[in-house]
Amino acid sequence: MPDMDNFKEAEAFGIDTPQKTIGFPLKGCSNLDWGMKNRLARIFSPKDGRSLMLACDHGFIMGPTGGVERIDLSIVPLLKYADCLMCTRGVLRAVIPPTQDIPVCLRSDAGTSVTTELNDNVVIDVQDAIRVNAAAMAVMVAVGDAATEAKTVANLYHAVDVGQRYGIPVMGVTAVGKQMTRDARYFRLATRICAENGANIVKTYYTEGFETVVAACPVPIVIAGGKKVPERDALELAYRAISEGAAGVDMGRNVFQSTNPAAMIRAVGAVIHRGFKPDEAYQMFQDLSASK
C-alpha cells in the first residue's frame, strides 16, 4: 500500500475531456474480447451506449417486499420496456420465461440476510451463470466496511477471473453501509476500487459531484434508483445521472413501486434513450397513466 501521508487530493478529473473509446461505444471496453463485447452490446444499446436495466434482486435480502411479492405479475410485464433484467438465478429459473428476449445481469453473489446488505456473500459457480446464458454477473462490493470489504473484493476479483475466462462481463455493485458517507469522495473510491479489480461495469449511486465519480472511473457506471421517491424526482435523478455521464440506470423500486410501473419504466427509458428532460418525461408518465 502506498504511503497515504501527503497524498494530493484528487482534482484533475478532466471533466471536459471524456475518456476516448475506440470502435466500441462503452468506455474502457475497447480492448475486450469479442464475446465480452457482444454481451455488453446486448445490455447497452450500440446506438447510444446506454442501458435501462430493471433490478428485481431485492428479495434475496429483503424477502417479498413491496413490488416484488409476485415477480410474474409485477416484473414480467415490464420486461418488454427494459434493456436488461437484473435478478437472481432462483427468480430467473422459477419465473422469467426463457422465451423472453432480454439479456440478464445475474446477481451472482449469494448470502444471508442477517446483516442487511453487507453480509457474508460468496460467488455462485460461473458454470451456472453460463447455463442460464447470463449476459453479465453482478457482485456486491462493500468498500470501507471493515468486516466485509476484503471478502467482497475477493468475490469481485474471483468473478472477474472466471468472467474473463468465459467472456462474461462483471458488474461491481457498490454497497453503502449506514456508517459510510454517501458523497462523491466515497463513491469515487468505491467505484474506482471496483474498476481497478477488473469490473467491466460499476453500479453505484448518484450524488452531488457525480461527474467526478464518472470521470475517475475508467469503465461505464450505472446508477441504482434507491428508495422510492415521487416519480418526478426519480426522473430527475435519472436525467442528472445521464447528463453527468452515467451509461444508464439499474432501477428497481422507483419503477416497480410506482403508481404505474409500466408508464414509469417507459418514461425512464425516454430519459435514457430519447433525451427527454425531467418535465417532458414526467408529462409522458402522466399521459400514459391517464390513458391506461
Q: Active-site residues: which are they? A: 203
Q: Which residue among 78, 224, 270, 271 contacts ligand R5P (CB under 6 A)?
A: 224
For ligand R5P, the closer CB: 121 or 197: 121
Question: Which of 130, 226, 273, 280 touches ligand R5P by CB under 6 A?
Answer: 226
C-alpha to C-alpha distance for 43 and 18, rounded to whole angstroms: 21
For residues 136-195, which are near ligand R5P according to CB under 6 A?
A: 140, 173
DSSP string covering 228-269:
---HHHHHHHHHHHHHTT--EEEE-HHHHTSSSHHHHHHHHH
CB-nearer residue toward ligand R5P: 54 or 215 = 54
CB of 139 to ligand R5P, least distance (A): 10
Determine which helix (DSSP H) or strand (DSSP E) holds 106, and give its type and residue range. strand 104-107
- What single-letter DSSP state applies at residue 201? E
Q: How far is the CB of 249 from ligand R5P (least distance, A)?
A: 8
The three grid cell numbers given for residue 134, joined into one nine-digit string:
447470463
CB under 6 A: which stretch of 127-135, 179-187, 245-253, 260-268 binds ligand R5P? 245-253
CB–CB of 250/53 below 8 Å?
Answer: yes
| The one among 250, 265, 266, 278 contacting ligand R5P by CB under 6 A | 250
Ranges within 52-71 binding ligand R5P (CB under 6 A): 55, 57-58
Site string for ligand R5P, 22-51 (x = CB under 6 A): ------------------------------
The site map against ligand R5P for 68-87 (x = CB under 6 A) is ------------------x-
* Residue 244 binds ligand R5P, judged by CB under 6 A: no
CA distance 108 to 155: 9
Q: Which is nearer to ligand R5P, 217 or 249 (CB)?
A: 249
As a three-state string, the secondary structure of 35-73 is HHHHHHHHHCCCCCCCEEEEECCCHHHHCCCCCCCCHHH
Give CA–CA dist 6/165, Å, rounded. Answer: 39
Alpha-carbon distance values, 86 to 103, 123, 127, 181 (Å): 9, 16, 18, 26
User: How many chain residues interact with ligand R5P (CB under 6 A)?
Assistant: 14
Of residues 85 and 270, the one with the C-beta less far from ligand R5P? 85
Residue 53 CB, nearest approach to ligand R5P (Å): 9
| Exposed/middle/buried for residue 17 (C-beta within 10 Å: 0-12, 13-18, 19+) | exposed
CB 263 within 8 A of CB 290: no
Query: Could you tell me how far CA 27 lies from the centroid of its own chain?
Result: 15
Candidates 188, 192, 253, 266: give the one binding ligand R5P (CB under 6 A): 253
Helix or strand (DSSP H, E) at 89? helix 89-95
Binding residues vs ligand R5P (CB under 6 A): 55, 57-58, 86, 140, 173, 224-226, 250-254
